[in-house]
Amino acid sequence: MAAMNNPSPGRLASVYSEVQTSRLHHALQLPSVLSSQFSLVDRPPSSATGNPDEIAKLFPNLFGQPSAALVPAKEAAVEGKPLKVGVVLSGGQAPGGHNVICGIFDFLQHWAKGSTMYGFKGGPAGVMKCKYVELNTDFVYPYRNQGGFDMICSGRDKIETPEQFKQAEDTANKLELDGLVVIGGDDSNTNACLIAEYFRSKNLKTRVIGCPKTIDGDLKCKEVPTSFGFDTACKIYSEMIGNVMTDARSSGKYYHFVRLMGRAASHITLECALQTHPNIALIGEEVAEKKQTLKNVTDYMTDIVCKRAELGYNYGVILIPEGLIDFVPEVQKLIAELNEILAHDTVDEAGVWKNKLEPESKKLFEFLPPSIQEQLLLERDSHGNVQVAKIETEKMLITMVETELEKRKAEGKYKGTFIGQSHFFGYEGRCGLPTNFDASYCYALGYGAGALLQSGKTGLISSVGNLAAPVSEWTVGGTALTSLMDVERRHGKFKPVIKKAMVELDGAPFKKFVSVRDEWGLKNRYISPGPIQFIGSGADGINHTLILELGVQA
Amino acid sequence: MAAMNNPSPGRLASVYSEVQTSRLHHALQLPSVLSSQFSLVDRPPSSATGNPDEIAKLFPNLFGQPSAALVPAKEAAVEGKPLKVGVVLSGGQAPGGHNVICGIFDFLQHWAKGSTMYGFKGGPAGVMKCKYVELNTDFVYPYRNQGGFDMICSGRDKIETPEQFKQAEDTANKLELDGLVVIGGDDSNTNACLIAEYFRSKNLKTRVIGCPKTIDGDLKCKEVPTSFGFDTACKIYSEMIGNVMTDARSSGKYYHFVRLMGRAASHITLECALQTHPNIALIGEEVAEKKQTLKNVTDYMTDIVCKRAELGYNYGVILIPEGLIDFVPEVQKLIAELNEILAHDTVDEAGVWKNKLEPESKKLFEFLPPSIQEQLLLERDSHGNVQVAKIETEKMLITMVETELEKRKAEGKYKGTFIGQSHFFGYEGRCGLPTNFDASYCYALGYGAGALLQSGKTGLISSVGNLAAPVSEWTVGGTALTSLMDVERRHGKFKPVIKKAMVELDGAPFKKFVSVRDEWGLKNRYISPGPIQFIGSGADGINHTLILELGVQA
């Protein structure tokens, strides 16, 4: 397919708000190591997070390669000859993605004059189909410090089959790519490493560098302290939560159940809790670790509602990660049994079919609100499986707490009033204007990725550290993607995976939360972070999770 | 009941975010007429918005009184002796309420030293039950420029019966009130005027002044250009809408249906549309004026979806006022018939009952998605009436557009894909930190209310004008509440009402919208206003509705 130079006018035709325009003019500072001559220093050889022998077999060319750090140098380590570099966005949107691209672009403009940069359109499919736009100064400019992924858009395809790897190879050859930067989450970075290995095995000159993206915050390790977008998304959600808290306290009559993004890990819920001090925040990892049942979770919430009613508070705010019920072991068991039963039997009106469930599963099923029971039985995906993801957890929990409260009221144990209001904050946070932190972090990630490519590196993920310090003191380098990997057994084969970083129950953010949550439960310690500010007070603050994990005093 | 001096620690025990703290320190500028000696000038005698003879009968003491304007004076017009003033918040929260209270407080501190101020707790019920807190500097301080109504909270009670007026009189006498400020919407200001009339008829010294509050923006007239809270709420919703738009454009696969607050009028939807440029925004007043049916509305939306699909856009953003279906005449008719039928007949499974509906109503009922049909039949309020307010309009419209698209697809007229995502932005906007505009506007409203009370005025609504100019040039005065009134016939009696200000189809904001909506429908002219900024670019801008209504060039 032919090059599509600026096929749509992109944002050039857009009208910008005053704030968007002011962000366009916001000057980005670089870590000082990137603002003058630098060279790369290799660290010791790396291993893998788990099963290094299997990882070594899967990545014969890349396994064991060292991570690299940029250090100041007297003169350029490599000749600044022009490069041809492609970039691709993979997976869901996260604030700051455009700045990663701007970082790569500016690096090439400054350190490799005459370079060409291609943006693959619509995610990895763009790489496979060689569908791209050539990026130039005019095209890139309107996206600086702006939210969204619409400069080149994203996609959820993966480069997996031998044919698809061949297509990627053809594209790399056709465009004579020196490098490809893959901006994505855990899966996309695993994929980036497989492509790097493949290109190396084919003796292609094309290097591949990953960048850590996901608002969920579950792609991180020692050298990659956070994924971009998490900071902005949590601050947007926290603004809304803070507003709802003030509303709850003002009207005094609602319990707001707020579901937040984060299916696999509960980092967003934990961070928003640390920012806003809700009465209750449920953390999936804790529910799983303690093998809690839905009844346990309901009782925990209901106990707090009852104690608050005694204190005269018939209102509150409760945060819930969207993946909560995936963490409840008994729910997993029920779902598995339901899938089995529904595949072979019919569901009779009288409910005789329920006797096919194991006793505990039957008990759980009957504990669920009727609307959820119905949803489990009726809404099936294309494989006929129950669709857990479609359950509106916040509404389910409202009904369950309501039912438990009615029981207690009948027993004379509760005299309050309870009105639940449900919220889901999701799409609102994925495409906001990046915070100053995400704007700078992404720019450094992209600029650093350019430096890694120029130095001939492949199979690394761009890593920027020392993030609690001023931007000028941030460290820049690359971490071997293989060092983040473990294997999973799928269809009788080992498959490499970057394990999602879960909320650690012995980590500083969760421990901080545990130390204060009882107080938050009964007393009203609500904080309203307010809208993200780009200048003035609070504009340069970073999120609590990062501060606590870095061990810096808040 | 005894005075409750600071019964709860209020916000003194609160932890503030950096932004909250910076807002606490934000210095509020006053209109210049309020910052030095002023006197009051009466305007000509007033009449009423409608049925002046009836209004004159209902308000024999107040009807016809002039509005008043503050003008600079060489020396104080009235002696600054100490006053006793009460304040009450009435109805739903709106950003800026605390600043109205701060404005009254500061006025008394400065111009009537030694005054006492009481905050009635929990709305008008606090007046009737004489439940109050004495406001002092320490108590008031933490609420400056903060969102919410939690300083004294609000309530939805009305002072209506003779006994209730007597209770209010007792409170006024007991506390020796010189004045009472009622902060509320159209109903509450009508109520304020009735209390003013009652107090005057009883020869009480207590004057009553209203303040225009509602995020819905439907309390306004020539002299009261806007109600407070509208500016902030619309900007919060527009931030979220802008983010969702960027997400829609980035992922390219969702139609976001966003329901916004505004049951009686569609000002919020119109303002958010002017701020963000959605593909579709439905305005209830237009639907009513054109006597559109739900089928018309569905076809209008579906046509745009189809045209966009032909242009390659299978995504979009649609704004919907929460009161939309109240504006559809045929729905009103159906509801009335349903209420009648459901009160007397049983609903048979086979649907024979439907024959009792008029033919058009039956057709409409069958046009509605099954889930909505069910909701109409099952969810009834305590009077047995169908609960239109509970219908999630955005979900209903998604289903209706889906159904119409399937039909067109079957006919070969549509080849796109359609996935609807529903949102409701409501509670998030009522308690945000007030914008610079709302903060200053509320402070001036409160300060001005103090000046009106000191000058012995009653039955006026505090009015601040010339709002497109810098704060120093704003005008300050009071408008006769009776001049805003008309009567409605209820239970065989005339009842005074301040008619809600609807979106005027020949008004500048709607005409502006009409002139651009076709372009917005097909082309993507999305604007992302971003988070409200308190300093820097865009921090001092006022909303489009106000700019257009004031006739100022944007």
Number of CB pairs < 8 Å for A and B? Answer: 193
Please list every residue in chain A whose beta carbon sits closer than 8 Å to the beta carbon of residue B157.
none
Please list every residue in chain B whose beta carbon sits closer than 8 Å to the beta carbon of residue A536.
22, 534-536
| A235-246 mean pLDDT | 98
Please list every residue in chain B whose beta carbon sits closer than 8 Å to the beta carbon of residue A535.
533, 535-536
Residue B216 a catalytic site member: yes
Dist. CA A130–CA A182, nearest whole Å = 15
- Annotated catalytic residues of A are 216
pLDDT at B459: 98
Q: Does B431 touch chain A (CB under 8 A)?
A: yes
pLDDT at A204: 98
pLDDT band at A553 (very low <50, low <70, confident <90, very high): low
Mutation site for B-interface testing, chosen from A311, A528, A543 by largest number of B Cβ within 10 Å? A528
Gap from A16 CA to chain B (nearest CA, Å): 6
Nearest to B433 among A149, A530, A535 (CB): A530
A1 pLDDT above the threshold of 70: no
Interface of A with B in 75-94 (CB under 8 A): 92-93
Dist. CA B215–CA B185, nearest whole Å = 9
Dist. CA B245–CA A146, nearest whole Å = 13
Please list every residue in chain B whose beta carbon sits closer than 8 Å to the beta carbon of residue A244.
427-428, 431
Q: Does B98 touch chain A (CB under 8 A)?
A: no
List pLDDT tens digits, range B405-461. 999 999 999 999 999 999 999 999 999 999 999 999 999 999 999 999 999 999 999
Q: Check if the beta carbon of residue A257 is closer than 8 Å to that of residue A422.
A: yes
B381 pLDDT above the threshold of 90: no
B4 pLDDT above the threshold of 70: no
Q: What angle do CA A524, A408, A331 make, to 5 degrees?
A: 85
List pLDDT tens digits, range A261-319. 998 999 999 999 999 999 999 999 999 999 999 999 999 999 999 999 999 999 999 99
B380 pLDDT above the threshold of 80: no
Dist. CA B325–CA B364, nearest whole Å = 12
Count of Cβ atoms closer than 10 Å to residue A81 Cβ? 11
Alpha helices (H) in A175-229, listed in sequence order: 186-201
Nearest to A538 among B17, B147, B431 (CB): B17
pLDDT at B376: 85
Q: Does B349 touch chain A (CB under 8 A)?
A: no
| B271-296 mean pLDDT | 97
| B174-186 mean pLDDT | 98
pLDDT band at B384 (very low <50, low <70, confident <90, very high): confident
pLDDT at A7: 36
Please list every residue in chain A whose beta carbon sits closer than 8 Å to the beta carbon of residue B533.
19, 531, 533-535
Gap from A246 CA to chain B (nearest CA, Å): 5
pLDDT band at A153 (very low <50, low <70, confident <90, very high): very high
A179 is in an annotated binding site: no
DSSP 8-class letter at A8: S
List pLDDT tens digits, range B9-28. 567 667 899 999 999 999 99
Q: What percent of chain A has pLDDT over 70?
A: 97
pLDDT at A399: 94
Mutation site for A-interface testing, chosen from B22, B90, B150 by largest number of A Cβ within 10 Å? B150
Any residues with CB less than 8 A from the CB of A63 and at least 6 apart, and which?
Answer: A48, A52, A55, A56, A482
Q: How far is CA B498 from the centre of its chain?
A: 13
List pLDDT tens digits, range B115-151. 999 999 999 999 999 999 999 999 999 999 999 999 9
pLDDT band at A388 (very low <50, low <70, confident <90, very high): confident
| A142-165 mean pLDDT | 96
Dist. CA B261–CA B269, nearest whole Å = 8
**Amino acid in position A133:** V
A5 pLDDT above the threshold of 60: no
**DSSP calls for A87-117:** EEE-SS--TTHHHHHHHHHHHHHHHSTT-EE
Please indicate whether, in this complex, the C-beta atoms of B537 and A423 are within 8 angstroms of each other: no
Would you say the C-alpha torsion A297, A300, A303, A304 has a positive or negative sign? negative
B241 pLDDT above the threshold of 60: yes
Please indicate whether, in this complex, the C-beta atoms of A525 and B15 are within 8 angstroms of each other: yes
List pLDDT tens digits, range B496-521. 999 999 999 999 999 999 999 999 99
pLDDT at B391: 84
Please list every residue in chain A whose beta carbon sits closer than 8 Å to the beta carbon of residue B13.
523
Dist. CA B399–CA B387, nearest whole Å = 19
Given B150, B178, B216, B231, the catalytic residue: B216
**DSSP calls for B76-96:** -SS-----EEEEEE-SS--TT
Gap from A76 CA to chain B (nearest CA, Å): 38
Interface of B with A in 271-330 (CB under 8 A): 275, 277
Please indicate whether, in this complex, the C-beta atoms of B427 and A15 are within 8 angstroms of each other: no
pLDDT band at B171 (very low <50, low <70, confident <90, very high): very high
Dist. CA A17–CA A369, nearest whole Å = 45
Q: What is the pTM of this model?
A: 0.96
State residue A281 phi and psi, 5-degree precision: -135, 125
List pLDDT tens digits, range A70-101. 999 988 767 789 999 999 999 999 999 999 99
Please list every residue in chain A whose beta carbon sits closer than 8 Å to the beta carbon of residue B244.
427-428, 431
B249 pLDDT above the threshold of 70: yes
pLDDT at A410: 97
List pLDDT tens digits, range B518-533. 999 999 999 999 999 9
List pLDDT tens digits, range B31-55. 999 999 999 999 999 999 999 999 9
pLDDT at A3: 36
What is this model's ipTM?
0.95
Nearest to B20 among A244, A530, A534 (CB): A530
Please indicate whether, in this complex, the C-beta atoms of A530 and B17 are within 8 angstroms of each other: yes
| A134-161 mean pLDDT | 96
Q: Report chain A's mean pLDDT, rounded to a whole number.
A: 94
